[in-house]
Amino acid sequence: MMIKINMAADIVTTPILAEAIIETGSLLNISQAHFDPIHGEVVAEIPSDQLVKIRDALVSRGAEVVVLNTPIHRDEEECVECGACISVCPVKVFSFADDWSIEADSDKCIQCGTCLKMCPHNALALGQ
Amino acid sequence: MVKKSIHEINGRIRDGSVNVVTAEEMVDIVGELGAEGAAKEVDVVTTGTFGAMCSSGVWLNFGHSEPPIRIGKLWLNDVEAYSGVAAVDAYIGATQQSQSKGIEYGGAHVIEDLIRGNSIDLHGTSPGTDCYPRKVIDTTINIYDLNQAIMLNPRNSYQKYNAATNSTNHTLHTYMGSLLPHHGNVTYSGAGVLSPMHNDPNYETIGTGTRIFLGGTQGYIVGEGTQHSPAAGFGTLMLKGDLKNMSSEYIRAATFEGYGTSLYVGMGIPIPILNEDLAKATAITDDDIVTNLLDYGIPSRDRPVLRTVTYGELRSGSIDINGKEVPTSPMSSFKKSRQIANELKDWIKAGEFFVSMPVERLPTTTPCNAMKQSNVDLLVVDIMSSDVTTIHEDAGFHDAAKIIMEKQFNHLPVVDSGNHLVGIVTAWDISKAVAKDEHDLVKDIMTRKVVTTSPDEAVDISAFKLDSNNVSALPVIDSNKHVVGIVTSDDISKLLARRH
């Protein structure tokens, strides 16, 4: 499952991710990270059964943890099934079925949003 | 030699005995029966395509107001339409964008809204004349209020189109979609095996007056499209059809991030199989259609061709570029193209659509020349400063500060031991390093992602690069990544000041 970890400016320079990994022994796979002077945001994949452990370890260090349980959403009315989204997705969420329909494996989605910008018909959205 | 007439085929459509197949199905039929056998068996082959057709628009007639107005400027949902024709006629183009919403909403969206029967706000202005005294008109209309809504695509259904990729170190936003850095992806357009014009490459049955499928209704080919370039396999068509009978299933507005709006248009052409040559032509496969893979990272009319590629390769999901497997994305929908070819097939089989011969064939030798430019454009080499000092990446930042101070410029290109450009240091980078007191080498404080130019690049492109990347200088490098000069925003400002 995917989680988003938000860190305020006061903890952004401390190694809370590393501490949480060592403490819980959980493998946290970072798929996106954005840092600027005022905050940090990390999107990571974790084993579902370790959510509580990891969340507690991070929250106790001042981070905010949000479960991203609503990955990419495709509006089938808007989508013309061109396939523009296929080549820009870093984790291959989209593919063509045998009849050239679009298939989306949402479980793979790391919510980077690249496909949203690629879609000419505004048919893709995150967090709906 | 098989020989059939349009009259004969239309007779079969009328009595229900016509044999119609799609261009995709025709491949196997010709494979099995041969061209002669297939020509005897099959009467019509249907094609289809559904993709972005920027060169699209609709002629609208609103009827006269009371008191009347000769509209000079017109906006529909805040999108400007061209109304410099008579009093209440206008042409709304697909790529015109909303004055308030930008590329989120454009002419293409107005067209889709019209088809859907949605209300459109109309605002028109006029200087006022004795016969047309009104100066301003504001009203709300929908498609049913219009006398005519005639789609006219000046350039539609490219015979084939180039595939696109990007060699630069940043994402490009183009009419071919997002192109990821370092050849991260390839995009292409066109329906390959179903591509209408590729199934009749000699334009035997495609020409002025040919009846076609357009946007879900019957339309017609007006003639050659603009930029028609048949010798290169890039023929185009001008099309017309009644928007009032079209469906949003086949006409869809689109927005390309960082580029603008466009219209996805569904069209299909029936190819009457009059002889075995036509049967053979309609058996074309994706592997037979070859196009060029262009580097859109070069912002020039003459983009370099990286390699040729077939539609078969493109549709396989990935292609090889310099030994790397690169994923491909179509920008047009093959599923919809197939749907169009099948719908056209159903119309013909049901006796609702009759095939026609063109009253005039498309030209086969039209040249497609570049624009004549009477003013000579300045190149980077004409304005760059050749007096540029570089610094080695292992030098201390105090040395960099000293050079910047002595030479009195703000940008210092950084090179490696082979003299290749690897970064750039500005006076601002040095100030930051001093303030933080953290680093002592140039390579620790330099910007590694440098936007560069070359001596033979047009100054306009350099100005665009400075603006779009929000930087104030571009190192000028040769093909070996050696620094041969630098162009700054000051150089371009001075140039503009001289021009005015």
Nearest CB among B254, B327, B328 relative to A120 is that of B254
**How many CA atoms within 13 Å lie on the side-chain side of B456?**
4
Shortest distance between the Cα of A37 and any Cα of chain B, in A, equals 14
Contacts of A100 in chain B (CB under 8 A): 333-335, 338
pLDDT tens readout for residues B325-375 = 999 999 999 999 999 999 999 999 999 999 999 999 999 998 888 888 887
Question: For B40, how many CA atoms within 13 A lie in the half-sphere containing its CB?
Answer: 7
pLDDT digits (tens, 9 = 90+) for B5-58: 999 999 999 999 999 999 999 999 999 999 999 999 999 999 999 999 999 999
CB-nearest partner of A81 from B256, B329, B335:
B335
Cα distances from B178 to residues A48, A119, B75, in angstroms, run 33, 9, 30
pTM for the structure as a whole: 0.84
Both structure tokens of B281: 């032509």
**Pairwise CA distance, residues B492 & B218, whole Å:** 53
Residues of B with CB under 8 A from a CB of A: 50-52, 173, 177-178, 180, 184-187, 252-257, 262, 264, 317, 326-336, 338
Nearest CA in chain B to A123: B254
Report the pLDDT averaged over residues B115-120: 98
Scanning every residue of chain A, which has its alpha carbon at the shortest distance from the alpha carbon of B190? A82
Candidates B22, B95, B109, B185: best to mutate against A (most CBs of A within 10 A) is: B185
> Over pLDDT 70: what percentage of chain B?
100
Chain B contact set for A87 (CB, 8 A): 180, 185-187, 326-329
Q: How far apart are the first and last CA of chain A?
A: 16
Read off the pLDDT band of A128 (50, 70, 90): low
Let me know: does B59 contact B150? Beta carbons within 8 Å: yes
CB contact under 8 A, B327 and A86: yes
Do A87 and B262 make contact, defined as CB atoms within 8 angstroms?
no
CA B384/CA B329 separation, integer angstroms: 39
B54 is catalytic: no
Residue B498 pLDDT greater than 90, yes or no: no
The pLDDT of residue B500 is above 60:
no
Q: Would you call B330 and A85 a contact, using CB atoms and an 8 Å cutoff?
A: no
Please tell me which of the candidates A95, A99, A117 has its beta carbon nearest to residue B335: A99
Residue B254 pLDDT greater than 60, yes or no: yes
pLDDT for position B373 = 83
Burial (0-12, 13-18, 19+ Cβ within 10 Å), B38: buried
Shortest Cα–Cα distance, B412 to chain A (Å):
26
CB atoms B331 and A81 under 8 Å:
no
- How many other C-beta atoms lie within 10 A of the C-beta of residue B440? 12
Confidence class for position B440, pLDDT limits 50, 70, 90:
confident
- How confident is the model over B172-212, as pLDDT tens digits? 999 999 999 999 999 999 899 999 999 999 999 999 999 99
Integer Cα distance of A75 and A104 in angstroms = 12
Name the band, by pLDDT with cuts 50, 70 and 90, for residue B243.
very high
B316 to chain A: closest CA residue: A96
* pLDDT of B193: 96
Please name the residue of chain A whose CA is at the shortest distance from the CA of residue B176: A84
Give the amino acid at A5: I
**What average pLDDT does this structure show over B370-393?**
87
**Contact B317/A81, CB-based, under 8 Å?**
no
- Among A residues 67-106, those touching chain B with beta carbons less than 8 Å apart: 80-88, 95-96, 99-101
User: Which residue among the candidates B131, B370, B371, B435 is catalytic per the annotation?
Assistant: B131
Residue A80: HSE in the Cβ half-sphere, 13 Å Cα cutoff? 31
Q: Interface pTM (ipTM) of the complex?
A: 0.82
Whether the predicted pLDDT of B499 surpasses 70: no
Looking at residue A31, its pLDDT comes to: 82
Which of B178, B326, B332 lies nearest to residue A82, judging by beta carbons? B332
Higher pLDDT, B85 or B449: B85
Of all residues in chain B, the one with the smallest CA distance to A77 is B249
Q: DSSP character for A17? A: H
A-B interface: how many C-beta pairs under 8 angstroms? 72
